[in-house]
Amino acid sequence: MGPDDHPVLEGFSQGEVPKQALAELEAAFGEHDIAFDNVIVRTDALGTDIVGDASWTEFNDVDSRNVSRRVRRTFMFFHRPDATLPEFSIQAKRGLAGRFLMGITAKLVGMPTFGLENEPEFNEKFTVVTANPESARVLLVRDMVDAMVRIENLNLAFMARGLLFTRHPGVYRTSDVRVSGQQDERVGDKDRLHFIEDAVAVCSPVADDPDAGRRAADAVEGTYAEEAFENLTEQGGLAGQSLKKMVVTPDMLAHLERHPVPRLDVPGPVRRRAWAGTTFLLILLGVFSIISLSVGTFLGLGAGGSNGPWWVLLLVGLVLLVVFGLVMRHRLGRKRIVTHGRIVHGRISSVEKTNTSVNDDIIHKITVQPQAAGEETVVAKMGSQPAKAARRMMESDQPTWVLVDPKKPGRGLWPHGWTLEAMSD
């Protein structure tokens, strides 16, 4: 299929994902080894429309025939670099069990219920996952809703800088995962043309409207992040409870910035973000290591050196103790940075993903170039959401500051990444 074979392809040309859009897509898919091929690109005054196939590796259960599989999925991304949209997703409902589990999960987490008034067909066919229901409703205009109801088979992600359209996973599959280790959900041939037509019909009412983001932002007081925080905390679910404990306020940032070293009265959310999170699991790890070492030593002395399970317990205890030590070393290092770290002002010069992830969240390197001449650049490692906020600051060349490790001047923490404003635009 060439870029001029059909009217829907007018303006497209073969190419690569533009650099600025690439960062947005990598963040949206959230995979370590994401790759893009079969890419065609169209550029206009508002941004770039990109069609292609994304692929990444997923790992199967231990008892599966293949250890991993390569997932391939067709997408269309409407990149709008000047837009500022609330982030939420619209998913096609599939089966009674899936709908039931989605509802239970949303209730436990504390996501606000979402429905469009006088739109029973839309509400029946789609689940809207959002903590920003007020601003989301502004974006779901008549033409977009009608197109989604007519097409039905879609997943749509509203992103701060555009819209990402895909089919529902599993609908298009051209290879058998159990045999080839691939899950092929690419859309090809004439179906690809229909895919682009559907994506344009659904997304263009927002993607081609330069004022859509402004109208959504004006629908609520404060920022999208503040809207989400208020909605989640009012629901009383797990997400709201966690946010109350973890969100760092501007006052807390100001307290850190002006407080002389050593900073002894560190606010609770800062402590939890920096070094005091998941303490219960760490205590369990230490207790289990002591128990394994103690029981193993007792059995070994009683066995008089003969073969037995005692050495296995000793080995397990040693491994757990090493892990416990590494975690404690990491936490104490971060505590040192917060309590004794020097404030360095500067600007973010790069945001790069690493090969490390924590709870399936990719860790990124955020590099800050100090404003003072001759100072060493500082690297802070944070998750994907703070990295997204850092990328926004880098694009707009906003000033920021970091806390620098007194023992390793090239390493630091970026407290702004823990704030409510870093949750979303």
The Cα 358–Cα 348 span in angstroms is: 23
Which one, of 340, 323, 324, lies nearest residue 407 by Cα?
Answer: 340
Does an H or E element contain 356, and which? strand 342-358
Which one, of 246, 255, 250, lies nearest residue 343 by Cα?
Answer: 255
**246: number of Cβ within 10 Å:** 14
pTM for the whole structure: 0.79
Does an H or E element contain 244, and which? helix 238-246
Task: Give how far the C-alpha of residue 5 lies from the chain's centroid of Cα atoms, to the nearest Å.
Answer: 37
Query: For residue range 5-22, what is the model confidence (pLDDT) as tens digits?
Result: 678 888 899 999 998 899
pLDDT tens string, the chain, 425 residues long: the values are: 555 567 888 889 999 999 889 989 988 888 778 999 999 999 989 999 999 999 998 876 555 555 678 889 999 999 999 998 998 999 888 655 444 445 545 555 555 678 888 999 999 888 888 888 899 999 999 999 999 999 988 999 999 999 999 987 654 444 434 445 678 888 887 889 999 999 999 999 999 999 999 999 998 888 888 787 777 777 665 555 666 677 888 888 888 888 888 988 888 888 888 887 767 777 887 888 888 878 777 777 765 555 667 777 788 888 888 888 888 888 889 999 999 999 999 999 999 988 888 877 888 999 999 998 888 999 999 988 889 889 989 988 999 999 999 999 899 999 998 887 776 54
The pairing of strands 68-79 and 182-185 is parallel
Question: What backbone torsions phi and psi does residue 358 show, to the nearest 5 degrees?
Answer: -125, 120
Query: For residue range 361-420, what is the model confidence (pLDDT) as tens digits?
Result: 888 999 999 998 888 999 999 988 889 889 989 988 999 999 999 999 899 999 998 887
pLDDT at 67: 67
Torsion of CA 210, 211, 216, 221, to 10 degrees: 130
The Cα 184–Cα 262 span in angstroms is: 55
Task: Give how far the C-alpha of residue 16 lies from the chain's centroid of Cα atoms, to the nearest Å.
Answer: 23
**403: number of Cβ within 10 Å:** 26
pLDDT at 303: 58
Q: CB–CB of 232/243 below 8 Å?
A: yes
Rounded to the nearest 10 degrees, what angle do helices 279-303 and 310-340 cross at? 150
pLDDT at 241: 65
Token digits for 346? 């500067």
